[in-house]
Amino acid sequence: MKITCPKCTKAYRLNDDLVYQICHEKILCTECGHSISVEPQILNEEELHTFSSGEALKQEVVNNLKKLYPMPHILFKAKAMLSGRENFKELEHLFNTDPALAGRVLKIANSAYYGLSGKVSSIQMAATVLGSKTLLQIITLIGHSKMLGRSLPGYGLDSGLLWKHSLAVAICSRLIEETLHAQDGDDAFLAGLMHDAGKIILDTYVLERQPLFRRYVDLTRSSMTVSEKKILEFTHADIGSALCRKWNLPETMATAIQYHHTPAASGSNRLAYILNLADHMAKEIDAPQKAASKPSQDALRFLPITEIGLRDLTRKASEALESLEEDTY
Protein backbone atom coordinates (compact mmCIF):
# COMPACT_ATOMS: atom_id res chain seq x y z
CA MET A 1 0.00 0.00 0.00
CA LYS A 2 1.22 3.48 -0.87
CA ILE A 3 0.74 6.48 1.45
CA THR A 4 1.73 10.10 0.93
CA CYS A 5 2.65 12.82 3.40
CA PRO A 6 -0.01 15.53 2.99
CA LYS A 7 2.53 18.28 3.77
CA CYS A 8 5.62 17.49 1.68
CA THR A 9 4.08 14.77 -0.59
CA LYS A 10 6.85 12.27 0.13
CA ALA A 11 5.52 8.80 -0.74
CA TYR A 12 5.97 5.63 1.30
CA ARG A 13 5.13 2.03 0.53
CA LEU A 14 3.80 -0.16 3.35
CA ASN A 15 3.71 -3.94 3.34
CA ASP A 16 0.02 -4.89 2.91
CA ASP A 17 0.32 -7.61 5.54
CA LEU A 18 1.35 -5.04 8.16
CA VAL A 19 -1.16 -2.28 7.43
CA TYR A 20 -3.73 -3.62 9.92
CA GLN A 21 -1.21 -3.19 12.74
CA ILE A 22 -0.72 0.52 12.15
CA CYS A 23 -3.86 1.57 10.24
CA HIS A 24 -5.26 3.46 13.24
CA GLU A 25 -1.91 5.00 14.18
CA LYS A 26 -0.03 8.03 12.91
CA ILE A 27 3.50 7.78 11.55
CA LEU A 28 6.04 10.57 11.24
CA CYS A 29 7.26 11.66 7.83
CA THR A 30 11.04 11.25 7.70
CA GLU A 31 11.24 14.18 5.30
CA CYS A 32 9.36 16.92 7.17
CA GLY A 33 8.30 15.36 10.51
CA HIS A 34 4.59 15.76 9.79
CA SER A 35 2.17 13.15 11.25
CA ILE A 36 0.61 10.94 8.58
CA SER A 37 -2.73 9.20 9.27
CA VAL A 38 -2.71 5.81 7.57
CA GLU A 39 -6.39 4.75 7.69
CA PRO A 40 -7.83 7.65 5.62
CA GLN A 41 -5.47 6.75 2.76
CA ILE A 42 -6.56 3.12 2.50
CA LEU A 43 -9.58 4.30 0.53
CA ASN A 44 -9.11 7.81 -0.83
CA GLU A 45 -11.88 10.35 -1.30
CA GLU A 46 -11.96 9.82 -5.06
CA GLU A 47 -12.58 6.07 -4.63
CA LEU A 48 -15.27 6.64 -2.00
CA HIS A 49 -17.05 9.30 -4.04
CA THR A 50 -17.37 6.96 -7.02
CA PHE A 51 -20.53 5.72 -5.30
CA SER A 52 -23.23 7.48 -3.33
CA SER A 53 -23.06 7.18 0.46
CA GLY A 54 -24.19 8.83 3.66
CA GLU A 55 -27.63 10.19 4.44
CA ALA A 56 -28.73 10.40 0.80
CA LEU A 57 -28.01 6.72 0.19
CA LYS A 58 -29.54 5.71 3.51
CA GLN A 59 -32.74 7.58 2.66
CA GLU A 60 -32.86 5.88 -0.74
CA VAL A 61 -32.55 2.46 0.93
CA VAL A 62 -35.18 3.28 3.58
CA ASN A 63 -37.59 4.52 0.90
CA ASN A 64 -37.17 1.18 -0.90
CA LEU A 65 -37.63 -1.04 2.17
CA LYS A 66 -41.15 -2.09 1.25
CA LYS A 67 -39.98 -3.21 -2.19
CA LEU A 68 -36.73 -4.78 -1.01
CA TYR A 69 -38.14 -6.63 2.01
CA PRO A 70 -41.93 -6.58 2.23
CA MET A 71 -43.58 -8.06 5.31
CA PRO A 72 -44.55 -11.63 4.35
CA HIS A 73 -48.18 -11.45 3.24
CA ILE A 74 -49.35 -14.31 5.43
CA LEU A 75 -47.68 -12.76 8.47
CA PHE A 76 -49.35 -9.41 7.79
CA LYS A 77 -52.80 -11.03 7.65
CA ALA A 78 -52.19 -13.27 10.65
CA LYS A 79 -50.99 -10.34 12.76
CA ALA A 80 -54.14 -8.41 11.87
CA MET A 81 -56.37 -11.35 12.80
CA LEU A 82 -54.67 -11.97 16.14
CA SER A 83 -54.27 -8.32 17.11
CA GLY A 84 -56.07 -7.83 20.40
CA ARG A 85 -58.24 -10.93 20.05
CA GLU A 86 -57.65 -14.60 19.44
CA ASN A 87 -59.60 -15.17 16.24
CA PHE A 88 -58.49 -18.75 15.67
CA LYS A 89 -61.36 -19.79 13.36
CA GLU A 90 -60.64 -16.99 10.90
CA LEU A 91 -56.97 -17.85 11.09
CA GLU A 92 -57.66 -21.47 10.22
CA HIS A 93 -59.77 -20.32 7.27
CA LEU A 94 -56.82 -18.19 6.09
CA PHE A 95 -54.50 -21.19 6.18
CA ASN A 96 -57.05 -23.43 4.45
CA THR A 97 -56.44 -21.34 1.32
CA ASP A 98 -52.80 -22.44 1.38
CA PRO A 99 -52.53 -26.13 2.39
CA ALA A 100 -48.76 -26.24 1.84
CA LEU A 101 -48.24 -23.35 4.26
CA ALA A 102 -50.63 -24.90 6.77
CA GLY A 103 -48.62 -28.10 6.55
CA ARG A 104 -45.40 -26.26 7.35
CA VAL A 105 -47.01 -24.57 10.36
CA LEU A 106 -48.20 -27.93 11.70
CA LYS A 107 -44.81 -29.53 11.07
CA ILE A 108 -43.06 -26.84 13.12
CA ALA A 109 -45.75 -26.85 15.82
CA ASN A 110 -45.14 -30.60 16.22
CA SER A 111 -41.35 -30.23 16.37
CA ALA A 112 -39.43 -31.18 19.50
CA TYR A 113 -38.62 -27.50 20.04
CA TYR A 114 -42.21 -26.73 21.05
CA GLY A 115 -42.62 -29.95 23.01
CA LEU A 116 -45.82 -31.10 21.25
CA SER A 117 -44.45 -33.81 19.01
CA GLY A 118 -47.32 -35.51 17.17
CA LYS A 119 -50.05 -33.80 19.22
CA VAL A 120 -51.16 -30.94 16.93
CA SER A 121 -53.49 -31.83 14.07
CA SER A 122 -55.00 -28.46 13.03
CA ILE A 123 -54.18 -24.76 12.92
CA GLN A 124 -56.95 -24.03 15.43
CA MET A 125 -55.56 -26.65 17.78
CA ALA A 126 -52.04 -25.23 17.36
CA ALA A 127 -53.36 -21.77 18.23
CA THR A 128 -55.30 -23.05 21.24
CA VAL A 129 -52.49 -25.17 22.67
CA LEU A 130 -49.54 -22.91 21.85
CA GLY A 131 -51.27 -19.53 22.14
CA SER A 132 -51.45 -16.74 19.63
CA LYS A 133 -47.94 -15.32 20.30
CA THR A 134 -46.21 -18.64 19.75
CA LEU A 135 -48.30 -19.34 16.66
CA LEU A 136 -47.30 -15.93 15.29
CA GLN A 137 -43.69 -16.85 16.04
CA ILE A 138 -44.05 -19.98 13.90
CA ILE A 139 -45.72 -18.02 11.10
CA THR A 140 -42.91 -15.47 11.34
CA LEU A 141 -40.32 -18.24 11.01
CA ILE A 142 -41.95 -19.44 7.83
CA GLY A 143 -42.43 -15.93 6.47
CA HIS A 144 -38.77 -15.01 6.95
CA SER A 145 -37.16 -18.32 6.01
CA LYS A 146 -37.32 -17.70 2.27
CA MET A 147 -35.83 -14.19 2.45
CA LEU A 148 -33.19 -15.07 5.04
CA GLY A 149 -32.37 -18.27 3.17
CA ARG A 150 -31.14 -16.46 0.07
CA SER A 151 -27.49 -16.30 -0.88
CA LEU A 152 -25.87 -12.91 -0.29
CA PRO A 153 -22.90 -12.58 -2.67
CA GLY A 154 -22.06 -9.08 -1.41
CA TYR A 155 -21.50 -10.46 2.09
CA GLY A 156 -20.04 -13.75 0.82
CA LEU A 157 -22.85 -15.83 2.36
CA ASP A 158 -24.06 -18.98 0.61
CA SER A 159 -27.74 -19.90 0.51
CA GLY A 160 -29.07 -20.82 3.94
CA LEU A 161 -26.16 -19.44 5.99
CA LEU A 162 -27.88 -16.22 7.07
CA TRP A 163 -31.03 -18.19 7.91
CA LYS A 164 -29.16 -20.65 10.10
CA HIS A 165 -27.33 -17.84 11.90
CA SER A 166 -30.53 -15.80 12.37
CA LEU A 167 -32.43 -18.80 13.70
CA ALA A 168 -29.58 -19.55 16.12
CA VAL A 169 -29.57 -15.94 17.37
CA ALA A 170 -33.37 -16.09 17.78
CA ILE A 171 -33.16 -19.27 19.86
CA CYS A 172 -30.27 -17.91 21.94
CA SER A 173 -32.08 -14.61 22.54
CA ARG A 174 -35.21 -16.33 23.72
CA LEU A 175 -33.25 -18.65 25.99
CA ILE A 176 -31.36 -15.75 27.60
CA GLU A 177 -34.57 -13.78 28.19
CA GLU A 178 -36.50 -16.69 29.67
CA THR A 179 -33.62 -18.03 31.76
CA LEU A 180 -32.28 -14.79 33.21
CA HIS A 181 -35.40 -12.70 33.45
CA ALA A 182 -38.20 -15.30 33.64
CA GLN A 183 -40.08 -13.36 30.96
CA ASP A 184 -41.85 -14.33 27.76
CA GLY A 185 -39.09 -14.63 25.16
CA ASP A 186 -41.21 -14.14 22.04
CA ASP A 187 -40.09 -10.55 21.38
CA ALA A 188 -36.46 -11.57 21.94
CA PHE A 189 -36.95 -14.44 19.48
CA LEU A 190 -38.34 -12.14 16.78
CA ALA A 191 -35.58 -9.59 17.37
CA GLY A 192 -32.98 -12.35 17.00
CA LEU A 193 -34.61 -13.55 13.81
CA MET A 194 -34.52 -10.05 12.32
CA HIS A 195 -31.23 -8.74 13.75
CA ASP A 196 -29.33 -9.13 10.44
CA ALA A 197 -32.24 -8.52 8.05
CA GLY A 198 -30.53 -5.30 6.98
CA LYS A 199 -27.91 -7.43 5.19
CA ILE A 200 -30.55 -8.70 2.76
CA ILE A 201 -31.44 -5.12 1.89
CA LEU A 202 -27.85 -3.87 1.62
CA ASP A 203 -26.40 -6.86 -0.23
CA THR A 204 -26.74 -5.36 -3.73
CA TYR A 205 -25.16 -2.10 -2.51
CA VAL A 206 -22.25 -3.97 -0.93
CA LEU A 207 -21.82 -6.11 -4.05
CA GLU A 208 -21.71 -2.98 -6.20
CA ARG A 209 -18.89 -1.63 -3.99
CA GLN A 210 -17.17 -4.99 -3.52
CA PRO A 211 -13.64 -3.87 -4.57
CA LEU A 212 -13.78 -1.15 -1.90
CA PHE A 213 -15.04 -3.56 0.76
CA ARG A 214 -12.50 -6.22 -0.16
CA ARG A 215 -9.60 -3.77 -0.05
CA TYR A 216 -10.65 -2.22 3.26
CA VAL A 217 -11.36 -5.56 4.97
CA ASP A 218 -8.15 -7.15 3.67
CA LEU A 219 -5.89 -4.27 4.72
CA THR A 220 -7.47 -3.37 8.07
CA ARG A 221 -8.91 -6.79 9.03
CA SER A 222 -12.00 -4.89 10.18
CA SER A 223 -15.43 -6.46 10.56
CA MET A 224 -18.03 -5.94 7.83
CA THR A 225 -19.94 -3.66 10.21
CA VAL A 226 -16.94 -1.35 10.58
CA SER A 227 -16.40 -1.50 6.80
CA GLU A 228 -20.06 -0.61 6.16
CA LYS A 229 -19.66 2.45 8.37
CA LYS A 230 -16.53 3.48 6.50
CA ILE A 231 -17.86 2.97 2.95
CA LEU A 232 -21.62 3.47 3.24
CA GLU A 233 -21.56 5.68 6.37
CA PHE A 234 -24.27 3.52 7.96
CA THR A 235 -24.63 -0.20 8.73
CA HIS A 236 -26.94 -3.15 8.19
CA ALA A 237 -28.03 -2.68 11.81
CA ASP A 238 -29.27 0.83 11.01
CA ILE A 239 -31.30 -0.50 8.09
CA GLY A 240 -32.67 -3.44 10.11
CA SER A 241 -33.84 -0.93 12.70
CA ALA A 242 -35.55 1.16 10.02
CA LEU A 243 -37.28 -2.00 8.74
CA CYS A 244 -38.69 -2.66 12.23
CA ARG A 245 -40.15 0.84 12.30
CA LYS A 246 -41.65 0.38 8.82
CA TRP A 247 -43.38 -2.75 10.11
CA ASN A 248 -44.60 -0.95 13.27
CA LEU A 249 -42.71 -3.35 15.52
CA PRO A 250 -41.94 -2.19 19.10
CA GLU A 251 -39.47 0.69 19.37
CA THR A 252 -37.50 -1.31 21.94
CA MET A 253 -36.89 -3.95 19.27
CA ALA A 254 -35.89 -1.39 16.64
CA THR A 255 -33.37 0.17 19.04
CA ALA A 256 -32.02 -3.24 20.08
CA ILE A 257 -31.39 -4.24 16.46
CA GLN A 258 -29.74 -0.90 15.70
CA TYR A 259 -27.28 -1.31 18.57
CA HIS A 260 -26.82 -5.07 18.73
CA HIS A 261 -23.11 -4.66 17.87
CA THR A 262 -22.69 -1.72 20.28
CA PRO A 263 -25.20 -2.26 23.12
CA ALA A 264 -23.48 0.25 25.42
CA ALA A 265 -24.73 2.98 23.05
CA SER A 266 -28.35 1.78 23.25
CA GLY A 267 -29.38 3.70 26.35
CA SER A 268 -29.47 0.57 28.57
CA ASN A 269 -31.71 -1.35 26.17
CA ARG A 270 -31.65 -4.87 27.66
CA LEU A 271 -32.65 -6.50 24.40
CA ALA A 272 -29.63 -4.95 22.66
CA TYR A 273 -27.35 -6.65 25.20
CA ILE A 274 -29.26 -9.93 24.76
CA LEU A 275 -28.82 -9.78 20.96
CA ASN A 276 -25.13 -9.01 21.38
CA LEU A 277 -24.55 -12.10 23.54
CA ALA A 278 -26.88 -14.24 21.40
CA ASP A 279 -24.88 -13.27 18.31
CA HIS A 280 -21.70 -14.41 20.08
CA MET A 281 -23.38 -17.69 21.13
CA ALA A 282 -24.60 -18.36 17.58
CA LYS A 283 -21.08 -17.96 16.21
CA GLU A 284 -19.82 -20.40 18.86
CA ILE A 285 -22.49 -22.91 17.80
CA ASP A 286 -21.65 -22.48 14.11
CA ALA A 287 -17.88 -22.89 14.51
CA PRO A 288 -17.06 -24.42 17.92
CA GLN A 289 -13.51 -25.36 16.87
CA LYS A 290 -12.67 -21.87 15.64
CA ALA A 291 -10.95 -19.47 18.02
CA ALA A 292 -13.78 -17.03 18.65
CA SER A 293 -13.62 -13.60 20.20
CA LYS A 294 -14.60 -13.37 23.85
CA PRO A 295 -18.15 -12.32 24.74
CA SER A 296 -18.69 -8.69 25.63
CA GLN A 297 -17.85 -8.20 29.28
CA ASP A 298 -20.21 -5.22 29.38
CA ALA A 299 -23.07 -7.46 28.22
CA LEU A 300 -22.20 -10.15 30.77
CA ARG A 301 -22.25 -7.56 33.56
CA PHE A 302 -25.43 -5.85 32.37
CA LEU A 303 -27.64 -8.92 32.07
CA PRO A 304 -25.92 -10.35 34.37
CA ILE A 305 -24.45 -13.74 33.48
CA THR A 306 -21.15 -15.54 34.02
CA GLU A 307 -19.05 -16.97 31.21
CA ILE A 308 -19.74 -20.45 32.61
CA GLY A 309 -23.47 -19.73 32.58
CA LEU A 310 -23.20 -18.47 29.01
CA ARG A 311 -21.48 -21.68 27.89
CA ASP A 312 -24.29 -23.70 29.48
CA LEU A 313 -26.92 -21.63 27.64
CA THR A 314 -24.95 -22.06 24.41
CA ARG A 315 -25.06 -25.84 24.81
CA LYS A 316 -28.84 -25.76 25.38
CA ALA A 317 -29.33 -23.45 22.41
CA SER A 318 -27.30 -25.75 20.18
CA GLU A 319 -29.57 -28.67 21.06
CA ALA A 320 -32.68 -26.56 20.43
CA LEU A 321 -31.34 -25.36 17.08
CA GLU A 322 -30.74 -28.93 15.96
CA SER A 323 -34.37 -29.83 16.66
CA LEU A 324 -35.82 -26.78 14.89
CA GLU A 325 -33.52 -26.05 11.96
CA GLU A 326 -34.55 -28.98 9.77
CA ASP A 327 -38.26 -28.22 10.23
CA THR A 328 -38.00 -24.57 9.25
CA TYR A 329 -35.77 -24.56 6.16
Which residues are CB-neighbours of 325 under 8 A, at least 6 positions away? 164, 167
| 287-292: average pLDDT | 66
Q: How confident is the model at residue 87 (pLDDT cuts 50, 70, 90)?
A: low
Q: Is the pLDDT of residue 139 over 90?
A: no
Q: What is the mean pLDDT of residues 58-75?
A: 83
∠ Cα 43 48 52 (to 5°): 160
Q: Which residues contact 168 (CB under 8 A, 6 or more apart)?
A: 278, 281, 282, 285, 286, 317, 321
Please state the pTM of the whole predicted model.
0.89
CATH 1.10.3210.10 domain span(s) along the chain = 50-328
Average pLDDT over residues 88-114: 82
Over 99-159, what HEC string results?
HHHHHHHHHHHCCHHHCCCCCCCCHHHHHHHHCHHHHHHHHHHHHHHHHHCCCECCCCECC
Those residues whose C-beta lies under 8 Å from the C-beta of residue 54, and which sit 6 or more positions away, are: 232, 233, 234
Rounded to an integer, what distance in angstroms lies between the CA atom of residue 3 and that of residue 36?
Answer: 8
3-class SS of residue 187: helix
Q: If you average pLDDT over residues 105-120, what whole number do you get?
A: 84
How far is residue 208's CA from residue 211's CA, in Å, rounded to a whole number? 8
Local confidence band at 289 (pLDDT 50, 70, 90 cut-offs) = low
| DSSP, residue by residue, 243-289 | HHHHTT--HHHHHHHHTSS-GGGSSS-HHHHHHHHHHHHHHHHH-TT
**CB distance 31 to 4 below 8 Å:** no
pLDDT at 179 over 80: yes
Provide CATH code, domain 50-328. 1.10.3210.10
Mean pLDDT over each residue of the chain, to the nearest integer:
89
In angstroms, the CA 284 to CA 295 distance is: 10
Taking 60 as the threshold, does the pLDDT of residue 222 lie above it?
Answer: yes
pLDDT band at 291 (very low <50, low <70, confident <90, very high): low
